[in-house]
Structure 1
Amino acid sequence: MPKNSVPTAQDPDQTEAGTQPEQTEVAAKPEKPDGRKRRWREHKIARREELVDGTIAAIRVRGRDIGMDEIASEIGVSKTVLYRYFNDKNDLTSATMMRYVETVLAPRMYAAIGSDMDEYELARMAITAYVETVASDPEVYLYVMANSAGGNRDVVAESERMIAELLSAVLGERLRLMEMDSGGSLPWAYGIVGAVQLATHWWISNKSMTAENLIDYLTMMTWGGITGIAEVAGSPARFNANPHPLHRGDTTDGL
């Protein structure tokens, strides 16, 4: 290259493969934003998303125990390409988990919890959304949960937090509109999210009942808690002051 020529912009894929632009001596000039670096960052972000989407598709085909070789084969790239964009398997796994939460699980839960309907229908809708999301993508869900240890646990914990805090906001608002004590909204929300998640995880691992049965049981439990809260206007003091008989229902119905 002639001494005073200016290097041309590099293709991000060439830079990715290790080709570096030749450096030339130029007179000192005020620093300007490096367009090549910006384009490379944009390319890398877009390429990572493509590879993560490919990983999710591969898990759906190959199952929860898929390895890096199988992921690369299913996507149609070499394992070297995966390691070019991800530090290691944990990095790819974490990105895959986050992508699943952000594009599949969270939007469905937000849509259900944010629906404008009465309290019972809202409770059932939210539970149904979670169970049906897991049921429609069992291998991806089980892959996410099987790898939710160590640093990857943060991804699952963050999804739980987001859903619980949204549910807490809805519970608190509705309780306050009815002039009830909303102080327990956050622990109640975390309790509901934890119970539904754990029960659904048990169910997807053995399928000992139908999804509809599971939804019915979880709705019964959740709604029973909500009505109990409403009976004492959300007040722990009122709850503790009341007797706590176990109402066994109408015996003519066989209960």
Structure 2
Amino acid sequence: MNYATTAHDAVPSRSVDGRTARWANHREERRAELVHAARRAVHRLGPDVPMEEIAAAASTSKSVFYRYFRDKAGLQTAMGELALAQMQERIAEAAAAAQTPEDGLIAMVSAYLGMAARSRNVYEFVTRAGAAEPAADEAFGSFFHAVGAMIEAPMRRHLDPAASATLAYWPTAAIGLVRAAGERWLREPDSPSKPSLEDMSGLIADWLFAGIAAQAAPETRTATLSTEEIS
């Protein structure tokens, strides 16, 4: 289906009256509209939906999408950035209220799994292998790096100062564990034995924190062992 290019998608003539900034703002607003429309289309039609159908769902043409995103990979990246921004906002709120490093980890994992579970179609679209994979991986890597930075300071209070430099490796390890375990959880059919989102978030957070706790300061390890022996 072909659509005529609408006025707000037309290429403007060279500005001679100071309207350049307003046009740039308008273009960003239009780009955001297209990302949200594409997200709704992918959620409804699936991750394999062709660009023609995405454009039709947005009541525009494929050429308009390519004008704003260059190609489908560019649209995948833009949708991934939107999902990440939403997750980071939720995590920042949770991190501010977190009382312990474990709370911060659970908030991170819960936001990630929650986004994926709300729309598996959108999640697969923005993370699947293909032309957009390097960009998607870079975006998700930056996300986990940001999350790691949020909880690095409280984590350091529990670590042996001689080994705390290795905490910098944690975000890289976390992205692999969370994505692998989370995607396995998403693929599992619903059953009484399948963990809930809350339980799965807690499990993954436990695994992540256990790896960090191996480098805990001696007094922290002793306290942990004593607690385990009593319980």
Tell me the TM-score normalised to structure 1 length.
0.69
Report SS of the residue matched to 2:97.
Answer: coil
Matching residue of 1:17: 10
Report SS of the residue matched to 2:70.
Answer: coil
Question: Does 1:226 find its partner at 2:217?
Answer: no
Gaps of at least 5 residues in structure 1 are 1-12, 22-31, 240-248, 251-255
- Following superposition of structure 1 onto structure 2, how do residues 86-105 of structure 1 map, counting pairs within 5 Å? 86-102=69-85, 104-105=86-87
Separation of aligned partners in 1, 2:215 and 2:11: 62
CA RMSD, Structure 1 to Structure 2 (Å)? 3.4
Separation of aligned partners in 2, 1:170 and 1:59: 33
Question: Does 1:158 find its partner at 2:139?
Answer: yes
Further displaced range: 137-146 or 126-135: 126-135
- Following superposition of structure 1 onto structure 2, how do residues 200-239 of structure 1 map, counting pairs within 5 Å? 200-207=182-189, 209-210=194-195, 211-230=197-216, 232=218
Q: Structure 1 residue aligned with 2:123, among 125, 141, 161?
A: 141
Query: Could you tell me whether the CA contact under 8 Å between 1:68 and 1:79 is conserved in 2?
Result: yes
Further displaced range: 220-229 or 55-64: 220-229
Separation of aligned partners in 1, 2:165 and 2:132: 32
Separation of aligned partners in 2, 1:166 and 1:33: 45
Separation of aligned partners in 2, 1:49 and 1:126: 25
Separation of aligned partners in 2, 1:183 and 1:142: 34
Q: After TM superposition, give the deviation of residue 90 of structure 1 in Å.
A: 2.4
Matching residue of 1:124: 106
Question: Does 1:79 find its partner at 2:62?
Answer: yes
**What percentage of residue pairs aligned between the two structures are identical?**
23
Go from structure 1 to structure 2 and tell me whether the alpha carbon gap of 1:168 and 1:19 turns closer, same or farther (over 3 Å shift).
closer
Compare CA radii of gyration and give the structure with the larger one: 1
The size of the alignment, in residue pairs, is 214
Matched residue type, 1:116: A
Matched residue type, 2:119: D
Greater helix share, 1 or 2?
2
Structure number with greater CO (CA < 8 Å, separation at least 6) is 2
Query: Could you tell me whether the CA contact under 8 Å between 2:101 and 2:155 is conserved in 1?
Result: no
Separation of aligned partners in 2, 1:86 and 1:219: 36
Query: Could you tell me whether the CA contact under 8 Å between 2:69 and 2:75 is conserved in 1?
Result: yes
Question: Does 1:174 find its partner at 2:154?
Answer: yes
Question: Does 1:54 find its partner at 2:37?
Answer: yes
Query: Could you tell me whether the CA contact under 8 Å between 2:52 and 2:62 is conserved in 1?
Result: yes
Tell me the TM-score normalised to structure 2 length.
0.75
Go from structure 1 to structure 2 and tell me whether the alpha carbon gap of 1:149 and 1:110 turns closer, same or farther (over 3 Å shift).
farther
Query: Could you tell me whether the CA contact under 8 Å between 2:91 and 2:111 is conserved in 1?
Result: yes
- Following superposition of structure 1 onto structure 2, how do residues 27-66 of structure 1 map, counting pairs within 5 Å? 34-66=17-49
